[in-house]
Amino acid sequence: MSGKAITVNEDGSLNVPESPVIPFIEGDGIGPDIWAVTRKVIDAAVEKCYGGDRKIDWLEVYAGEKAVEKTGEWLPESTLEAIRKYIVAIKGPLTTPVGEGMRSLNVTLRQVLDLYACVRPVRYFQGVVSPVKTPEKVNMVVFRENTEDVYAGIEWQAGSPEADKVIDFLQKEMGADVRDGSGIGIKPISEFGTKRLVRKAIQYAIDQNRSSVTLVHKGNIMKYTEGAFRNWGYELARDEFGDVTISEDEMWEKFDGKQPEGKILIKDRIADAMFQQILLRPDEYSVLAMPNLNGDYMSDALAAQVGGLGMAPGANIGDGYALFEATHGTAPKYAGQDKVNPGSLLLSGVMMLEYLGWQEPVDMIQRALSTTISNKTVTYDLARQMEGATKLSCSAFGDAIIGNM
């Protein structure tokens, strides 16, 4: 079966051929290990469900260390062209140096392809040992703004002529008290960027029958960026979804604090308080919408509540393209050891199959993964928390999932 490109219909829905070409980036560090398992499990499930009538035609494209090896560039234009051409793609994690060197390739992919919503569902799999008492109460979906905030990459090193120039401007023209010799970073948050993210989050809540959307911000301190995010979020909800949403204030004023049937509750929480809310009262939260940095931090914290980064999937979605990837990074100390949990990238692949409308393999993989965990045949990260577990390698875990299909 030779592959064809997915196309987008006029109404924005996808036209998925029987054999869609899907570009993949293997990734750095643990990327090759978890990608090999993800691909094998997805192919097995698609084959078992459709018996050859449907099949993914995988196309390798390069980014990161392998791209440098193959092409001399970190992110070749041909990779971006392939994702634009084939619409849906999946990637392993890519390394970003700390405090020096090139900017994040992960962030660059999101910005260049305008994948403005980072969508990270967090749910509990029965049998996983968690550091909290009631992990089954965690069922949240993070919508993280993916193109703005301090991730915009507008920053200058301390002592550079650019940083000194900005400091001079801030001191002389703006009357701001900035210490000489500081490093400078800029935090842009726009009405456009906020509203399209919150629109996607509310639309998701409507489509998935979710009870609330919480805007998570630090708007008491960063009034005109994070505070504006909150205000624009409420405004969008009122203006575009007024008939199906209700704010917390309105709920108290008109309904004595009881959420009326058929209305999605729009609320907001200040980010620091929200970190304790997700631990103490997780069942009160469903869809969360937040600026980039808050979403980055909260994704990993939520992942920990349901057993760790090994089971944390995600997707970067725009109005044009979608690029699926795990929440975690390259975990360099485990690179090439066939050791880590491939669950996060596999579940990102499951999100991708769902995005294509291939529900049968979605259900099959989720069931098989649940069985494998219930059987206590798991990778090191889950095994170290479970009593009586059999510790499997990354690849053996993948084979166990296939065996349980």
Ligand X SMILES: NC(=O)C1=CN([C@@H]2O[C@H](COP(=O)(O)OP(=O)(O)OC[C@H]3O[C@@H](n4cnc5c(N)ncnc54)[C@H](OP(=O)(O)O)[C@@H]3O)[C@@H](O)[C@H]2O)C=CC1
Ligand Y SMILES: O=C(O)CCC(=O)C(=O)O
Q: Which residues are catalytic?
A: 151, 218, 272, 296
DSSP 4: B
Q: Is 147 annotated as a binding residue?
A: no
Which residues inside 362-381 make contact with ligand X, applying CB under 6 A? 381
CB-based contact 401:365 (threshold 8 Å): yes
DSSP-derived 3-state class of residue 259: coil
Interactions with Mg ion, residue window 329-368 (CB under 5 A): none
For residue 284, the 8-state DSSP code is: G
The size of the interface with ligand Y (CB under 6 A), counted in residues, is 8
Window contacting Mg ion (CB under 5 A); options: 168-176, 237-245, 294-302, 364-372: 294-302
Select the binding partner of residue 347 from Mg ion, ligand Y, ligand X, none (C-beta < 5 to 8 A, by kind): none
Instruction: By CB under 6 A, name the one of 38, 79, 106, 305 that touches ligand Y.
Output: 106
Choice from 22, 340, 346, 392 touching ligand X (CB under 6 A): 340
Site stretch for ligand Y (CB under 6 A), options 99-107, 133-141, 185-193, 354-362: 99-107
Nearer to Mg ion (CB atom), residue 268 or residue 296: 296
d(CA 225, CA 242): 24
Give the β-pairing of 315-317 and 322-324.
antiparallel
Question: Using CA atoms, how far apart are residues 382 and 390, in angstroms rounded to an integer?
Answer: 10
Pattern 82-111, binding to ligand X, x per CB under 6 A? -----------xxxx---------x-----
Q: In this structure, what are the phi and psi dihedrals at residue 93, rounded to the nearest 5 degrees?
A: -75, 155
Other CB atoms within a 10 A radius of the CB of residue 85 amount to 14
Tokens of 330: 């390259």
When asked if residue 39 is in the footprint of ligand X (CB under 6 A), the reply is no
234 burial (CB, 10 Å; 0-12 / 13-18 / 19+) is: middle
Binder among 80, 107, 129, 279 for ligand Y (CB under 6 A): 107
Is 333 known as a binding-site position? yes
* Smallest distance, Mg ion to C-beta of residue 353, A: 23
- How many CB atoms within 10 Å of residue 399? 17
340 binds, options ligand Y, Mg ion, ligand X, none, Cβ within 5 to 8 A by partner type: ligand X
Q: How far is the CB of 138 from ligand X (least distance, A)?
A: 18
Question: Structure tokens of 384?
Answer: 């170290």
Distances (CA, A) of 136 to 26, 212, 295, 351: 32, 18, 21, 20
Asked if 5 contacts 86 with a C-beta cutoff of 8 angstroms, the reply is yes
Provide, rounded to whole angstroms, the least separation between the CB of residue 97 and ligand Y. 9
Please report the beta strands in 271-403, taking only residues with DSSP state E, as ranges in sequence order: 287-290, 315-317, 322-324, 377-378, 390-391
Annotated binding site for NADP(+): 95, 328-334, 341, 380, 384
- Residues contributing to the site for ligand Y (CB under 6 A): 96, 104, 106-107, 296, 299, 327, 329
Question: Which residues fall in the annotated binding site?
Answer: 95, 104, 106, 110, 120, 144, 296, 328-334, 341, 380, 384
User: What does the binding site for Mg ion look like in residue numbers (CB under 5 A)?
Assistant: 296
